[in-house]
A and B are shown apart, each in its own frame.
Chain A
Amino acid sequence: MKKSRRILFILGVIAGLLYVGYQQLDDSQKRFVNELARQVPYMIPRYFV
């Protein structure tokens, strides 16, 4: 229980840092990240082609 709470806390911190980092980007950089993020879910299946 304690362990999973710690993992959740760490994941929360990482998500927070990513969010803050993303907010620092200009619009153009955000579009770059958004386009990559849109395709990230397909990277695992693409690895098997």
Chain B
Amino acid sequence: MADYDVIVIGAGTGGLSAGAQLAAQGRKTLVLEQGPRVGGCCSTFEREGFHFDLGASLIESPGLINMAFEQLGTTLKDEVDLIACDPIYTLALKDGTRIPRPLAVDAAAEEIRKIAPDEVSNWYAYIDYMKGFLNAAHEFFLSPTLTANDMARFFINSPEMLKYAPLFACSYQDVIKRFFKDPRVRESLSYQTFFVGLPPELAPGLFAVIPVGEHDGLFYSKGGMIGIPEALRRCGEKAGMELQLNTLVKRVLVRDRRAMGVVLADGAEITADIVVSDVNAKMLYLDLIGEEHLPWLARVGIKSYEYAMSIPMLYLGVDYEPPLASHHTLATVPMEDMNDFWWQTYVPRHFKPDEQFGIISWTSHSDPSLAPEDHHVIVLTLTPAPYHRADGRSWDEIKPEITEQIIAYYDKHYIPGLASHVKVAELATPWDFERNLKTPQGAIYALRQDVTNEAIFRPAARSKSIKGLYLVGASTHPGGGVPTTIASGMIATRLIETYE
């Protein structure tokens, strides 16, 4: 008899979502986490009294997250102290224009009217079209999409999806350009393409739904983003889920193409009837399982996936109130500049600390308890960066130098006075993400997300090669992001209910 019914490898939001729900079904469940805290990329750590969010900085699609909590007999609002972010962002455009993007669609339209009156009707047309898509595609985010049959069934059950078929065959940029003419309005909708790890001209058009989804509510968790995984952990433990931190899994035990348990770094074996993996699928199949256990076609397939980009973060504790307008500021550039950045900087494996754009999260604006009195926390989500630098220099070696350059850049362009008020500065590079989160190449969205890597072409939630093995997290459907990884936990739970 196995030691556990289920072992979950990794206590990211996907692993905890699955672990908590499986425990609630009465299965003896053990979650093993290699790090010192839960949450993976959605976590919070402390330095000298400042509390910084490690990666994820905002909560989108609260309805989807709430469904996971409802399955645990509670609600998101009961478990997490949510702070609504309104405006969603302040948009800091390249030409110096600052535009708030209020939560209400009508209020956002009024802001657009101030810079481009002709675009107001286009704004409503865009919102209507994308909301229609969001409603039609809602089930897609909770469907297993294992086979072509699943996809066919989804389209048969949601025939209105055919209306949105062009979104799968064009780019994010094409969609935005089709709706809007004004360059500043286009720019104000550009950055969200990096939420799926691709520039506007390469991201599939269906992701142009992201800026619309933000108007359903954008939240921050009081105490830091770790509030979400901690709530899942609490619910899971209440249902009997066991969690072990600082426990690294070295191998998945496989016999006759069936998962039998795991081997820990210290050599100990723990057996289980079912293994759920919340680690990068490429690392799971090639390192933890071994390609000798895979059929040849699956071997070719898993090796063909490209890692998603890594995004360095700069965590700053400051001793003044930064001159920012809201919790989130999006430092944007036009879509063409983002594309140029991709081809001329990111692909040739450069990183330019003095040419930045990204998200400025002033988290202590919403929750002053994150910093000591009269101090503040700012987290900068920087431009994507290569794992291997073209100049061959080590990320560890150049950290102090580029930290200073990035601070100087933000001081000059977005946060005046910053350089002289920094008390704590810590830079997380792709190497740090790999070391600390065991995410290969620091790829926070795990695997690239375009139509050749999505749905039935993404590693399946129920392994097609190894029986009793289930996948959750960013590298399986529906992909990277807090709500989507939590949804992957719901999908795996449903599949286990059906097949095991």
Residues of A within 8 A of B (CB): 28-29, 31-32, 35-36, 39-40, 42-49
Contact = CB atoms under 8 A, between A and B. Distances in A.
Interface of B: 148, 170-171, 173-174, 201-202, 281, 285, 295, 297-298, 300-302, 304-305, 339, 450-453, 456-460, 464-465
A46 B476 CA distance: 12
What's the dominant secondary structure at chain A's contact region? Answer: helix
Given A28-B201, A32-B170, A32-B171, A46 B301 contact: yes
Given A48-B297, A49-B281, A43 B173 contact: no
18 contacts: A29-B171, A29-B174, A31-B339, A36-B450, A36-B451, A39-B452, A40-B452, A42-B452, A45-B298, A45-B304, A46-B301, A46-B452, A46-B458, A47-B457, A48-B301, A49-B301, A49-B459, A49-B465
Contacts of A40: 452
Contacts of B453: 39, 46
| Residue among A35, A43, A44, A48 with the highest chain B CB neighbour number at 10 A | A48
Contact of B457 (A31, A32, A43): A43
Contacts of B460: 49
A35 B450 CA distance: 9
B30 to A, nearest CB: 26
A43 B173 CA distance: 24
A32 B343 CA distance: 12
Contacts of B171: 28-29, 32
Interchain residue pairs A-B with the least CB separation, the first 10: A45-B301, A42-B304, A39-B452, A45-B300, A49-B301, A46-B301, A46-B457, A48-B297, A28-B201, A32-B171
Contacts of A32: 170-171, 174, 201-202
A32 B173 CA distance: 10
Contacts of A47: 148, 301, 456-457
Contacts of B304: 39, 42, 45-46
Nearest to B203: A32
B463 to A, nearest CB: 8
A18 to B, nearest CB: 13
Given A46-B301, A47-B301, A47-B457, A36 B452 contact: yes
B305 A46 contact: yes
Contacts of B452: 36, 39-40, 42-43, 46
B222 to A, nearest CB: 39
Contacts of B458: 46
A38 to B, nearest CB: 9
A43 B305 CA distance: 10
Given A46-B453, A49-B298, 15 more contacts: A29-B174, A32-B170, A32-B201, A35-B202, A36-B451, A40-B452, A42-B300, A42-B452, A45-B298, A45-B301, A46-B301, A46-B457, A48-B301, A49-B460, A49-B464
Contact of A48 (B174, B298, B339): B298
A43 B281 CA distance: 16
Nearest to B306: A39
| Residue among A29, A35, A46, A48 with the highest chain B CB neighbour number at 10 A | A46
Nearest to B285: A49
Contacts of A44: 297, 301
Contacts of B301: 42, 44-49
B373 to A, nearest CB: 50
Nearest to B305: A46
B173 A45 contact: no
A16 to B, nearest CB: 20
A49 B453 CA distance: 11
Nearest to A27: B201
Contacts of B450: 35-36, 39
| Residue among A31, A32, A44 with the highest chain B CB neighbour number at 10 A | A32
A22 B157 CA distance: 33
Given A32-B171, A36-B451, A45 B297 contact: yes
A44 B174 CA distance: 27
Contacts of A42: 300-301, 304, 452
Contacts of B459: 49
Nearest to A44: B297
Contacts of B285: 49
